[in-house]
């Protein structure tokens, strides 16, 4: 499983390469057998390296290695070759479409890869602010999008979240038929407005919960005039919009009689 | 980080250990402002994290042996005003001081050392650099004058 994920993951840019490094080191930790598998993949991987959708600058691709990288606090910083560089090459953010093709284990690993990358960028940013030097890759600002890399990573993580949520929703619907993960109910607040109240977990029953009882999910009688006034305001605004639209149509018809009357 | 605002489920004695998959928290390693002991690493962490969270985070994700964690909240000023004379708040942050176990030490590295890049010989950049260096040499005053400016005659 780890080896196949390695094979799929490797064809793309820097983030992928880190993923490969980390996943192989994880594999090494778990079992020595996977090491041989990933080494045999080395031959096969040189072929698909160039057949990727995005630009994978072959000169920039670091050679594969299956040694356990010395983990720890070094991962908060870039690799030592990139220290002091003005520009650092980086890849495009993940799209939801690409993420949907990955398995759950892959997504889980990818989340941590992105998280470590984000931590690294934040560290470098803070250090550059401290030293009053410009961060070594504001050209991680994409020319098209003009977004810093940390934002790209945040977007990738958000999309990953969305994909995982979709899968969880589907599973829950199939297994239990529940549409929402968090239970709730339609309730009326003090002002007479109906809204979806999401339940919270409490250690006490509701009739013993003083703070909860102060919330009042009913409308007192003296609020009724206010509700009526609010309703009138809403209806007046709606009629105003409709009248305006009608007047606009009449004016247009006068000016341009050939236009067909729009059905609103 | 505030993408998933969730309330932690209620814990009562006997409940299973709470596990968070795909944690939304990100840490920032910072250089300490004041001198810290050799085994202490300083982080900026989100407000919602606790000492136990930091310990588990570093141990599980970064495989760093953590001894002790101490946290504090840094209050940042609300006194500054913008061009509209409105008060502008600088966001608060939480700082964690992590002491490494197993007598490990950590020194904050110098990331921004400028590398001496020597451009290829015969190229345009090299000629430009030479030209700039010659110009600078010409601009410098005569050393024999002992720092006295050219304004004074002789």
Q: Which of B10, B22, B111 lies at the smallest CB-CB distance from A203?
A: B10
Chain B partners of A180 at a C-beta cutoff of 8 Å? none
Q: Which CATH number is associated with domain B28-100?
A: 3.30.70.330
> Which residues numbered 7-66 in B keep a CB inside 8 Å of some CB on A?
7, 9-10, 12, 21-24, 26-31, 41, 44, 61-64
Which of A7 and A256 is assigned the larger pLDDT?
Answer: A256
In this complex, do A72 and B61 lie within 8 Å of one another by their Cβ atoms?
A: no
What does the pLDDT average to over A151-166? 91
CA A45, CA A39: separation in Å to the nearest integer?
Answer: 10
State ipTM: 0.78
Which of B128 and A60 is assigned the larger pLDDT?
Answer: B128
Assign A259 a pLDDT band (cuts: 50, 70, 90): confident
Residue of A nearest to B62 (CA): A72
What does the pLDDT average to over A145-159? 78
Assign A195 a pLDDT band (cuts: 50, 70, 90): very high
**pLDDT of the residue at A25:** 42
Q: Is the pLDDT of residue A146 over 60?
A: no
In this complex, do B63 and A71 lie within 8 Å of one another by their Cβ atoms?
A: yes
**pLDDT of the residue at A78:** 82
CA B100, CA A5: separation in Å to the nearest integer?
Answer: 33
Least confident of A31-40, A167-176, B35-44: A31-40
Least confident of A26-40, A228-242, B1-15: A26-40
Q: Is the pLDDT of residue B138 over 80?
A: yes
Residues 6 or more apart whose CB falls under 8 angstroms from that of A75 comprise: A116, A119, A120, B62
Indicate which of B112, B113, B115 best probes the interface with A, i.e. most A CBs within 10 Å of its own CB.
Answer: B112
- Decide: residue B10, CB within 10 A, 0-12 exposed, 13-18 middle, 19+ buried: exposed
CA A69, CA B136: separation in Å to the nearest integer?
Answer: 46
**pLDDT of the residue at B118:** 60
Q: Is the pLDDT of residue A184 over 50?
A: yes
Residue with tokens 């601009």: B139
Residues 6 or more apart whose CB falls under 8 angstroms from that of A91 comprise: A12, A13, A14, A15, A16, A54
CB A32 within 8 A of CB A46: no
Q: Is the pLDDT of residue B146 over 50?
A: yes
**pLDDT of the residue at B36:** 93
Residue B100 belongs to what H/E stretch?
strand B93-100
Q: Where are the domains of chain B?
A: 28-100
CB A131 within 8 A of CB B40: no
Nearest to B66 by CA among B38, B101, B30, B102: B101
Measured in whole angstroms, how far is the alpha carbon of residue B40 from the centre of its chain? 15
Residue with tokens 């820097």: A14
Tens-place pLDDT, residues B69-126: 999 999 999 999 999 999 999 999 999 999 999 888 898 888 877 666 666 666 777 8
Assess A75–B contact: CB distance below 8 Å, yes or no. Answer: yes
Which of B75 and A141 is assigned the larger pLDDT?
Answer: B75
Residue with tokens 């300490």: B32
Assess A225–B contact: CB distance below 8 Å, yes or no. Answer: no
What does the pLDDT average to over A221-232? 96
Tens-place pLDDT, residues A56-67: 444 444 444 433
Three-state secondary structure string covering A178-232:
CCCCCCEEEEECCCCCEEEEECCCCCCCHHHCHHHHCCCCCCCHHHHHHHHHHHH
**pLDDT of the residue at B145:** 81
Residue A161 belongs to what H/E stretch?
helix A149-175
In this complex, do A160 and B109 lie within 8 Å of one another by their Cβ atoms?
A: no
Assign A47 a pLDDT band (cuts: 50, 70, 90): very low
Structure tokens, A181: 């993960």
What does the pLDDT average to over A127-137? 79
Q: Give how far Cα A32 sits from Cα of A4, A65, A209, B63, Å.
A: 16, 15, 56, 19
CB B100 within 8 A of CB B41: yes
Tens-place pLDDT, residues B13-69: 999 999 988 899 999 999 999 999 999 999 999 999 999 999 999 999 999 999 999
Structure tokens, A210: 């003083």
CA B17, CA A166: separation in Å to the nearest integer?
Answer: 26
In this complex, do B26 and A200 lie within 8 Å of one another by their Cβ atoms?
A: no
Q: Is the pLDDT of residue A239 over 70?
A: yes
CB A197 within 8 A of CB A186: yes
**pLDDT of the residue at A138:** 57
Least confident of A16-20, A178-182, A197-201, A213-217: A16-20
Which of A31 and A211 is assigned the larger pLDDT?
Answer: A211
Long-range contacts of A40-46 (CB under 8 A, 24+ apart): A41/A3, A41/A6, A41/A7, A44/A7, A45/A7, A45/A10, A45/A11
**pLDDT of the residue at A108:** 94
CB B79 within 8 A of CB B67: no
Strand partners, B42: B30, B97
Q: Is the pLDDT of residue A34 over 80?
A: no
Tens-place pLDDT, residues A78-100: 887 777 776 677 778 889 999 99
CB A140 within 8 A of CB A149: yes
Nearest to A95 by CA among A54, A49, A138: A54
């Amino acid at each position: 499983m780890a080896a196949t994920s390695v094979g799929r993951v490797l064809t793309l840019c820097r983030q992928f390469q880190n993923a490969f490094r980390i996943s192989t080191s994880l594999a090494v930790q778990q079992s020595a057998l996977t090491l041989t598998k990933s080494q045999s993949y080395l031959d096969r991987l040189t072929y698909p390296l160039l057949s990727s959708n995005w630009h994978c600058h072959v000169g920039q691709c670091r050679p594969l290695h299956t040694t356990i990288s010395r983990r720890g606090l070094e991962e908060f910083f870039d690799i030592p070759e990139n220290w002091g560089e003005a520009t650092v090459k980086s890849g495009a953010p993940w799209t939801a479409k690409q993420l949907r093709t990955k398995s759950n284990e892959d997504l889980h690993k990818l989340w941590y890869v992105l998280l470590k990358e984000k931590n690294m960028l934040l560290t470098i940013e803070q250090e550059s602010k401290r030293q009053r030097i410009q961060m070594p890759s504001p050209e991680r600002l994409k020319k098209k999008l003009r977004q810093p890399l940390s934002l790209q990573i945040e977007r990738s993580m958000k999309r990953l979240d969305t994909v995982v949520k979709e899968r969880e929703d589907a599973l829950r619907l199939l297994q239990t038929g529940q549409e929402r993960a968090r239970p709730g109910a339609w309730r009326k607040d003090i002002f007479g407005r109906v809204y979806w109240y999401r339940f919270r977990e409490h250690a006490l029953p509701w009739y013993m919960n003083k703070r909860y009882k102060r919330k009042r999910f009913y409308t007192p009688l003296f609020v009724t005039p206010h509700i009526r006034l609010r309703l009138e305001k809403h209806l007046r605004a709606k009629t105003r919009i409709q009248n305006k639209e009608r007047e606009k149509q009449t004016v247009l018809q006068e000016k341009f009689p050939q236009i067909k009357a729009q059905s609103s | 980080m505030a993408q998933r605002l969730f309330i932690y489920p209620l814990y009562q004695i006997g409940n299973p250990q709470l596990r968070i998959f795909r944690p939304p928290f990100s840490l920032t390693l910072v250089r300490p402002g004041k001198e810290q002991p050799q085994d202490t690493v300083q982080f900026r962490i989100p407000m919602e994290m606790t000492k136990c969270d930091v310990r588990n985070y570093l141990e599980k994700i970064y495989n760093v042996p953590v001894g002790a964690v101490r946290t504090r909240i840094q209050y940042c000023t609300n006194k500054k005003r913008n061009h509209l004379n409105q008060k502008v708040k600088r966001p608060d942050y939480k700082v964690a001081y992590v002491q490494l176990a197993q007598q490990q030490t950590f020194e904050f590295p110098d990331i921004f050392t400028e590398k001496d890049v020597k451009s290829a010989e015969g190229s345009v950049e090299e000629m430009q650099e030479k030209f700039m260096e010659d110009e600078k040499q010409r601009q410098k005053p005569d050393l024999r004058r002992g720092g006295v400016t050219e304004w004074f005659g002789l």
